[in-house]
Structure 1
């Protein structure tokens, strides 16, 4: 079994919110932009890929992505 996806959210003293996905491979990380915007009631102003973007997904990770899309 793979580790669950991690969403790291930080709120700065100036109120700026930054968020990062971890343990998400490839373009699946883009699915989380909308999730984070909804949770934080915010709009994305900048985004960048993490090192996980170039990692290869396992079958379990692919299954987890499909589960997320059902919501």
Structure 2
């Protein structure tokens, strides 16, 4: 992935995380936050493995999926 596209993925991740704080429905919050976390993991991987970005966001992905499945 080119550095420009990687940066856009990072900006997109930030946008989704911020958007998740604006929403009120908990299911929508979790879905939007999950998308942001996934994008941050992708960003971290394609930015030469930025482990401080990858690890917490990967953990948050599992937490969001767990709560989404638990609610269903």
**TM-score with structure 2 setting the length:** 0.28
The structure richer in helix per residue is: 2
Higher strand share: 1
